[in-house]
Amino acid sequence: MKLRQMKIKVLLTILLTSVGFISNAQSKKNTNSIVDENVVFEEKSGLVAIEAEFFYKQTNTNVRQWYRSSKFEKPNAGRDEDTLHVYGSSNNAYLEILPDTRVTHDDALIKGENFSDVPGVLATLHYKVKFNTPGRYYVWVRAMSTGSEDNGIHVGLNGEWPESGQRMQWCDGKTRWTWASKQRTKEIHCGIPHNIYLDIKEAGVHDILFSMREDGFEFDKFILAQDKLYIPKGKGAKVNTIGQLPKPYPSVSAPIIKKNYFKTIAEALPKNKWIAAQQFPSVGTDFYTNGKNWMAINPKTHKKAITSTVFNFESGTYDIVFVGVGENDGSSTFQVLINGKELGTYQPPLIDKMFEEGKKSTKVWKGIKMNKGDKITVKAEVGTDGKEFTRGRWAGIIFTPVGKGKKILNAQSSYSQD
């Protein structure tokens, strides 16, 4: 009995020690390479796509390093003020240069530390790529920028840093994963398209390099494409490899948005009255309830829908605020009617996020006389960009005192990224 207890104790000790060792190692190891050194990415038909996290080594790591983030890996490397962006990243993982000591323009710029106009000096990533087709390759990178001092890197080849790989720059698409291929110049800070490329002189395995320009830069994936007009979409093309890749990282759920825009502005004034979209009937209307906040149309089965309810508040004159949802597949059309008479028609503009409920997607009709018992009708029609359809999403209607309609609109929008 005693011997058995001892054995268990010894086993337990070994187990606990190794668990401790593993978790400790993992917390420190998100600067390491996760691909085997035999893994080579292969260009096919003039295109190659590679996850940022598939570098085989990183060099120049004394001052800054690239840290991987995924469901179970969170960098702990000094100043890093933005949140995790695993959700929406390709392969559910990305790299970030840390620490990030220049977050805003007011933080001191220290060359060789938090900034490097010289490529190949700080935080350099290496990727092995086998090219079958020599020639010029335009470089596209999917990045996440949350400020003005985290949106530049350099790209190089076989230990060299040609002018055409310097100062890759992002301007559009703050706080969402964004593909770009532009070169910053003195005159054009937001960058010139088609200026970022690498010339592959001969077929065979080459070393593709990325190095820091600004700290805090977040790097998800890159694509090299011979077609000058190529533009990556969504999470980008499939990764082709010779050799075994690690298992994909587990997906994470979307960050929770605490209160949607509609609810925020509806509650902005004590005198406001409102009817949320989901308080309108959906059964038999060709609308369905979409998530917790919206009514929507399924474009596979319907292109239009109509629903009505009764205005049960105090009679009076109100500003009427209709909160629609902007979508990236086109503009939905909404018509609001009072007792069957058109109040107005509204189309939220096309947006670059997947959906966005905010000031931009909201319409105000001023000074409208309403009587208790009036019938309010919302007709919606899906929009299209020629390929995909919108879903005619809307959040609801607010009745606010006259003159307040425009004033309550300033609140943070709620949105979801693609």
**Residues contributing to the site for Ca ion (CB under 5 A):** 51, 80, 82, 89-91, 93-94, 96, 100, 102, 149-150, 214-216, 218, 220-221
Neighbouring residues of 65: CB distance < 8 A, sequence distance ≥ 6: 31, 58, 77, 97, 98, 123
Instruction: Pick the closer one to Ca ion by CB: 197 or 219.
Output: 219
**Residues in the chain, overall count:** 418
Rounded to a whole number of angstroms, the minimum distance from the CB of residue 10 to Ca ion is 42
CA angle 245, 249, 252 (to 5 degrees): 165
Rounded to a whole number of angstroms, the minimum distance from the CB of residue 143 to Ca ion is 9
Instruction: Pick the closer one to Ca ion by CB: 3 or 254.
Output: 254
Instruction: Pick the closer one to Ca ion by CB: 52 or 198.
Output: 52
Rounded to a whole number of angstroms, the minimum distance from the CB of residue 149 to Ca ion is 4
Nearest 5°: phi and psi at 33? Answer: -85, 145
Q: Quick check: helix, strand or coil at residue 18?
A: helix
Rounded to a whole number of angstroms, the minimum distance from the CB of residue 144 to Ca ion is 7
Rounded to a whole number of angstroms, the minimum distance from the CB of residue 114 to Ca ion is 6
Q: Distance between CA 303 and CA 315 in Å, rounded? A: 34
Q: Which residue has the tokens 């369905």?
A: 288
Instruction: Pick the closer one to Ca ion by CB: 67 or 261.
Output: 67
Instruction: Pick the closer one to Ca ion by CB: 249 or 261.
Output: 249
Instruction: Pick the closer one to Ca ion by CB: 176 or 363.
Output: 176
Instruction: Pick the closer one to Ca ion by CB: 250 or 281.
Output: 250
Rounded to a whole number of angstroms, the minimum distance from the CB of residue 253 to Ca ion is 17
Nearest Cα residue to 279 out of 360, 197, 395, 375 = 395
Rounded to a whole number of angstroms, the minimum distance from the CB of residue 291 to Ca ion is 27
Q: Distance between CA 268 and CA 263 in Å, rounded? A: 9
Instruction: Pick the closer one to Ca ion by CB: 61 or 158.
Output: 61
Q: Distance between CA 65 and CA 124 in Å, rounded? A: 8
Rounded to a whole number of angstroms, the minimum distance from the CB of residue 232 to Ca ion is 13
Nearest Cα residue to 319 out of 364, 373, 371 = 364
CB-count exposure of residue 6 (10 Å: 0-12, 13-18, 19+): exposed
Residue nearest to Ca ion (CB): 216
**Contact (Cβ atoms closer than 8 angstroms) between residue 308 and residue 376:** yes
Nearest Cα residue to 162 out of 142, 144, 180, 136 = 136
Q: Distance between CA 138 and CA 326 in Å, rounded? A: 32
